[in-house]
Structure 1
Amino acid sequence: MAIQECHLTALLLISVLGAILGSLQVGYHTGNVNAPAKIMEEFFNQTWKDRYNETLSEQSLTLLWSLSVSIKDFGSLLGSLGVKYLADSFGRRNSILIVNCLSLVGVSLMVVSKAIESFEALILGRLLFGLFCGLVMSLNPLYVQEVSPTVMRGAFATLNQVSFASGILLGMVSGLETMLGTEELWTVMLSLSLIPAVLQYFILPFCPESPRFLLLNKGQESKADAALLRLRGSPEPVLAELEEMKAEAAHTQASVGVLEFFQKRSYRQPIIIVLCINLASQLSGFNAIINYSTRMFHPYFEEAKYLTLGVGAVNVIFTLVAFFLMEKAGRRRLLLIGFIIIAVCNLLLTVVDSVVQTVPSLGILQVLVVFCLISAYELGPGPISWFIAGELFDQRGRSIAMAFASMLNWGGKFLLALLFPPVLKVIGGYSYLLFMVMALIGFVFTWFRVPETKGRTFDEIAEEFRGAEILPLHDKNGFNTFS
């Protein structure tokens, strides 16, 4: 793809990179608590002992630590509820800057928790940071998609997942005992995400607001024109994009409420697509492996934590692969490839788990299958599940759709974190068969119901759903689904 065709400018790149610093923070605090967990649990126990002159029971300590870990995902669920109000009231870029305050305050509370001897401050900090996660993981792709040229929209939206995966890897590395995951330095480790948080305030104020928001939400054509000109660097693409936005505005009603969003006829098929793709992605096994890979590898490898770093590295590498393939292979093809490989990997994990205890040398095969599953997830289902909602809805429904997708994503993560340990204890390796079923559901649904959105404008995509109860995906001349 020629650079001239996609009108790639320095300001466009800076705007995208400035926005995805938020997902870097989210990933960092997803990956940094596993390695130093025992040290932080001891802080909880010591704080309790200093207050009440008694130690916490093992059960109480486990419960308290589980609360402090899972409360981030719970906060993310709550944060998702505010996406529409912020995005439509203050704009996409300004909303990212507003919610960044939650990250600053939340992380600051976590950092000072040791100094003030308050594990409550750490838990409250993770809750506030969770609110930030739920908001920013919707606002980022929303802003990125709306400032990007159509031919680079999917690739740039994938950068949100690249940043998230990079944050996870950085968190894993910083949490190692040989790095900052020590009794003396774990608060320093938590504080590092303040760097990208502060950096956003030096970058984003100089980046333009979403031109689509300015024109379609606020009716400010001159400001939209100026923002587009800054982003594209040439008046030629600006005229074409403005005409496309005006065409969408002509088909879009003044506003869409939450209740109307779920009742609107033209939204029914996109809602079902977002629901199925997100749940199939989140419940296909990736999150269980990210959370419990060290525990999976530990019985067969002494240095399991370094294999977990390998999981993080593979995660980053294949988000980058997805970035380069997104506009060549298309969303639909990457979803199909990703889901079917994930299904096969889960089947193999079930087989390996049933024999690895008697043949420990097969532990290396388990590692390879895990790496393959992570690769397949990040090749398609992972990044696409976060931004597909933004492509399937018109401007008035897009912010609610992104909030809905965020709730499904974080809800799936929370559900898996809550249910996977007891399910694993009851049925062991057969739990991977449940993930396999979810991946197969994702594959079948994608084959029959998910259209290709690569290279299509927002209005062209929305046009296919207007007035249609069921999208005729078999009609190649209509939605170009199979190309």
Structure 2
Amino acid sequence: DKCLLKDGKFMMCVPGLTSGLVPMYIGEIAPKAYRGALGTLHQLAIVTGILISQVIGLDFILGNDGMWPLLLGLSGAPAVLQTILLPLCPESPRYLYIVLGKEQEARNSLYRLRGPYDATADVEEMRREKEEADKEARISILSLIRSSVYRQQLIVALMMHFSQQFSGINAIFYYSTSIFARAGVGQPVYATIGMGAINTVFTMVSVALVDKTGRRTLILAGLGGMCFCAVAMTVGLRFQNDYSWMSYVSMSAIFLFVSFFEIGPGPIPWFIVAELFSQGPRPAAIALAGCCNWTSNFIIGMTFPYIQGLLDVYVFILFAGLLLCFTVFTYLRVPETKGKTFEEIAAVFQKGKKKLAEAPKDHAELEQLKTSTDA
């Protein structure tokens, strides 16, 4: 993940392919008890890279007319290192067993990942998942969209990524310097770096909490907190010309907004998709969710200046309304996946479908009972 900060403007480019494959790989190799924490490390690596690039992109370091080619070239160093180290990473045990049917190779991969231990329980879980996977064909993106079997999971997965991007977080990231300048900050570039530091710290908090508190709880807390901060940000921007202390309200709201984002809505959508789907539809679901995420990112990046010009200081009220909707959706539709196997998570959605399927039948029975009683 490479970022540049030049002339106070923040730009970020995260390769779409790796942003989908890395969380999927982590989800498949991680022990059930630590799946959330390891999945959140993906986001921690991103925000750490952002913070480092913000610092070295300062004008007196590398972010100047003479040194920016070196700054750009440095982004290739992590890619070279990753290319060298990637062959040392073991193949996913779930892929080896469930897709290729190589049980012994899967066991060897588990031993490489976790050291000598009794892998019977993990192999048995993969065996059950393989039995279910063998009953279903390899699912393409188009088939996944059309399928009614995975519709609930797909809706939840896509809404998680919509909530991440349409929360307004990238509007703050991309235009943080101008937002801080408008809030009356003398050196907005340093405030932007401070925001990057908070970004990193609260991602660490998420790593520590996600397997204790749960995914659903952290997402609800994050979205609800961001909604409150968006309203506070609007109030601060609206009245900062009348009351000088309101600029502190605006700045505090921005920092808290970022903090709440990194507690849940930032890291969790990237790995929860891998938890919601079995081995068959998982690659297609992650590809679709990633496409949804980056398309939403592009829309926000391109349209925010025009929306801001139209709504002026009330621009974050729009995001507050969206965040409220996402919070309600998460409360009603997103299940808790903490500590559950992939089979158990799938069963949660199947149970919900059975309830929906039985509802018309129950209604018909009530009508029949009512008719017979009247008679």
TM-score relative to the length of structure 1: 0.70
Give the letter for the 2:49 counterpart. Answer: G
| CA distance in 1 between partners of 2:157 and 2:171 (Å) | 21
Query: Percent sequence identity over matched residues?
Result: 38
Partner of 1:187: 69
Report 1:88-127 matches (<5 A): none
Partner of 1:459: 343
**Does residue 387 of structure 1 match 2:271?**
yes
| CA distance in 2 between partners of 1:281 and 1:258 (Å) | 22
Partner of 2:171: 288
Partner of 1:35: 7
| CA distance in 1 between partners of 2:265 and 2:209 (Å) | 13
SS in 1 for 2:61: coil
**2:47/2:200 contact within 8 Å kept:** yes
Give the letter for the 2:329 counterpart. Answer: F
**2:222/2:261 contact within 8 Å kept:** yes
SS in 2 for 1:235: coil
Partner of 2:161: 278
| Selected match of 1:268 from 146, 151, 159 | 151
SS in 2 for 1:420: helix
**1:269/1:465 contact within 8 Å kept:** yes
TM-aligned CA distance change 1:36 to 1:374, over 3 Å:
closer
Report 1:372-411 matches (<5 A): 372-411=256-295
TM-aligned CA distance change 1:150 to 1:275, over 3 Å:
same
| CA distance in 2 between partners of 1:312 and 1:204 (Å) | 28
| CA distance in 1 between partners of 2:6 and 2:252 (Å) | 21
Give the letter for the 2:74 counterpart. Answer: L
Partner of 1:175: 57
CA displacement 1:303-352 (0-9 Å, x = unmatched): 11000101100000000000000000000000110011000000111111
| CA distance in 2 between partners of 1:221 and 1:429 (Å) | 59
Give the letter for the 1:377 counterpart. Answer: F
| CA distance in 2 between partners of 1:297 and 1:287 (Å) | 14
Aligned-pair CA distance for 1:468:
5.1
Aligned-pair CA distance for 1:37:
5.7
| Selected match of 2:141 from 245, 249, 258 | 258
| CA distance in 2 between partners of 1:470 and 1:418 (Å) | 42
Partner of 1:418: 302
| CA distance in 2 between partners of 1:291 and 1:152 (Å) | 32
Partner of 1:334: 218
**Does residue 231 of structure 1 match 2:113?**
yes
**1:266/1:468 contact within 8 Å kept:** no
Partner of 2:45: 163
**2:8/2:189 contact within 8 Å kept:** no
**2:237/2:246 contact within 8 Å kept:** no
**1:145/1:157 contact within 8 Å kept:** yes
| CA distance in 1 between partners of 2:157 and 2:94 (Å) | 22
Q: Which runs of 5+ in 1 are unaligned?
A: 1-25, 39-68, 73-129, 473-483
**2:234/2:316 contact within 8 Å kept:** yes
| CA distance in 1 between partners of 2:130 and 2:7 (Å) | 50
**Does residue 433 of structure 1 match 2:314?**
no
| Selected match of 1:243 from 114, 117, 124 | 124
| CA distance in 2 between partners of 1:229 and 1:384 (Å) | 27
| CA distance in 2 between partners of 1:277 and 1:178 (Å) | 39
CA displacement 1:143-170 (0-9 Å, x = unmatched): 1111110000011000000011111111
TM-aligned CA distance change 1:34 to 1:422, over 3 Å:
farther
CA displacement 1:121-157 (0-9 Å, x = unmatched): xxxxxxxxx6x71100001101111111000001100
TM-aligned CA distance change 1:168 to 1:150, over 3 Å:
same
| CA distance in 1 between partners of 2:20 and 2:159 (Å) | 18
Q: What is the number of equivalent residue pairs in this alignment?
A: 353
TM-score relative to the length of structure 2: 0.90
Structure 1 vs Structure 2 CA RMSD: 1.8
Partner of 2:189: 305
| CA distance in 1 between partners of 2:233 and 2:296 (Å) | 21
Aligned-pair CA distance for 1:36:
6.2
Aligned-pair CA distance for 1:200:
1.1
Partner of 1:134: 16
| CA distance in 1 between partners of 2:198 and 2:354 (Å) | 38
| CA distance in 2 between partners of 1:411 and 1:259 (Å) | 18
Deviates more, 1:426-435 or 1:251-260: 251-260
**Does residue 202 of structure 1 match 2:81?**
no
**2:161/2:269 contact within 8 Å kept:** yes
TM-aligned CA distance change 1:446 to 1:407, over 3 Å:
same
Aligned-pair CA distance for 1:34:
4.3
Aligned-pair CA distance for 1:187:
0.8
| CA distance in 2 between partners of 1:413 and 1:304 (Å) | 23
